[in-house]
């Protein structure tokens, strides 16, 4: 009975506020523009209500709060009216046309160094290095059997995994920097840049091919297993973790070399390069898929060097924070 009486008392107290008709506030409450929470907490919601009313008034004078704009990619986009006053910057390319990519900015683009030695290899001598090398080689066998010469699909899976180590390593170094009140030597940014670069590879190859449902399932399983394994591995031995990534990048260079061979032999159509690749790597407007694969292979070679270098630092008894990171090395 006590709970029933308490419920009845609560209903009597809140009922008039929730269910009773109230005077309209600038006509917004009747239209549902102000949530029901504003009727319970009027003081807390007053600033939001006033801002909404002001925005509606200004919007009606200018032809509506949301105006349609034509995006560069042919899709319509809406100009957002925000209570917080945040407006997306309007960027333009060097030729004066609108910048169409919200996922990266003009200052994130670069020209890849394609003259890098793609045949360089770190010869394993120590036991951990040999274990890392055999581990990577053993992972390559099922991938080759599964994808065979379907290079674009292979690249999709490769990039979903290759983007993990940089994020995990950068995150752990970030937490260590906070925990120990020390600088990172630029390695947090370097590893996160690597992860972002690998993700851009994925965004590029999504314009070349789309994954099938079973490939998506494979990516889900592979990424989940690899993330947790690499997380634990980096906690236990950063030098071993970086060496594994170095060998993974060597295999990535080999995979893209095979991709280029099939493109040059005419086995795969050398289609025009995706627009996102042209802007990201500053490629010529008439660039082809072969040019894209070439710059992606160069990126992987640079990641190979950075991770082998990081592992060598640990092997020499030094710390990453005491050695400047190779920022912008691509």
Q: What is the mean pLDDT of the chain?
A: 81
Q: Is the pLDDT of residue 58 over 50?
A: no
Q: Domain residue spans in the chain? A: 128-142+150-322
CB 238 within 8 A of CB 184: no
Higher pLDDT, 324 or 60: 324
Q: What's the pLDDT at 14? A: 52
Express as a percent the part of the chain with pLDDT over 90.
54
HSE (side-chain half, CA atoms, 13 Å) at 54: 9
Q: Is the pLDDT of residue 41 over 50?
A: no
Over residues 67-96, the pLDDT tens digits come to 444 444 444 556 667 778 887 788 888 788
Q: What's the pLDDT at 140? A: 83
CATH number of this structure's domain 128-142+150-322: 1.20.1260.140
Give the C-alpha separation, 27 to 3, whole Å.
Answer: 39
How is 182-226 classified by DSSP, letter by letter?
---TTHHHHHHHHHHHHHHHHHHHTTT----HHHHHHHHHHHHHH
Q: What's the pLDDT at 17? A: 53
Q: What is the CA radius of gyration of the chain?
A: 27
Cα separations in angstroms, 208 against 7, 192, 263, 325: 61, 25, 13, 33
Over residues 207-221, the pLDDT tens digits come to 998 888 888 898 889
Over residues 221-265, the pLDDT tens digits come to 988 899 999 999 999 999 999 999 999 999 999 999 999 999 999
Over residues 290-312, the pLDDT tens digits come to 999 999 999 999 999 999 999 99
Over residues 19-30, the pLDDT tens digits come to 454 444 444 444
Express as a percent the part of the chain with pLDDT over 70.
76
Give the C-alpha separation, 107 to 127, whole Å.
Answer: 42
Give the C-alpha separation, 40 to 35, whole Å.
Answer: 10
Which pTM does this prediction carry?
A: 0.74
Q: Is the pLDDT of residue 196 over 50?
A: yes
H runs (alpha helix) in the chain = 2-19, 28-31, 37-40, 42-61, 127-147, 151-180, 187-205, 213-236, 238-265, 275-280, 289-315
Q: Where residue 124 falls among pLDDT bands split at 50, 70, 90?
A: very high
φ, ψ dihedrals at 98, nearest 5° = -70, 140
Nearest alpha-carbon partner for 274 in 167, 149, 155: 155
């Amino acid at each position: 009975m006590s709970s029933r009486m308490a419920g009845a008392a609560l209903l009597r107290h809140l009922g008039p506020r929730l269910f009773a008709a109230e005077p309209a506030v600038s006509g917004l409450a009747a239209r549902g523009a102000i949530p029901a929470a504003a009727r319970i907490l009027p003081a807390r919601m007053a600033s939001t209500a006033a801002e909404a009313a002001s925005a509606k008034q200004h919007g009606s004078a200018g032809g509506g709060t949301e105006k349609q704009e034509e995006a560069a990619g042919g899709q319509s986009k809406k100009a957002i009216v925000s209570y917080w006053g945040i407006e997306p910057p309007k960027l333009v390319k060097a030729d004066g046309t609108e910048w169409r990519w919200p996922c990266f900015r003009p200052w994130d683009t670069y020209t890849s160094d394609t003259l890098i030695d793609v045949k360089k290899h770190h010869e394993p001598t120590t036991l951990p290095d040999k274990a890392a090398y055999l581990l990577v080689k053993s992972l390559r066998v099922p991938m080759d059997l599964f994808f065979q010469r379907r290079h674009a699909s292979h690249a999709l899976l490769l990039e979903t995994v290759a983007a993990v180590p940089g994020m995990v390593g950068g995150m752990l170094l970030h937490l260590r920097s906070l925990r120990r009140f020390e600088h990172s030597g630029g390695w947090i940014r370097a590893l996160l840049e690597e992860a972002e670069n690998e993700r851009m590879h994925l965004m590029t190859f999504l314009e070349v091919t789309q994954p099938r449902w079973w490939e998506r399932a494979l990516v889900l399983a592979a990424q989940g297993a690899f993330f947790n394994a690499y997380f634990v591995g980096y906690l236990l031995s950063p030098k071993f973790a970086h060496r594994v990534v170095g060998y993974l990048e060597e295999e990535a260079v080999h995979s893209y070399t095979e991709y280029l061979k099939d493109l040059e032999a005419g086995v795969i159509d050398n289609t025009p390069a995706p627009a996102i690749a042209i802007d990201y790597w500053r490629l010529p407007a008439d660039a082809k898929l072969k040019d894209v694969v070439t710059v992606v292979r160069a990126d992987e070679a640079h990641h190979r060097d950075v991770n082998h270098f990081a592992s060598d630092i640990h092997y020499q008894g030094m710390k990453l924070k005491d050695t400047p990171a190779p920022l912008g090395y691509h």
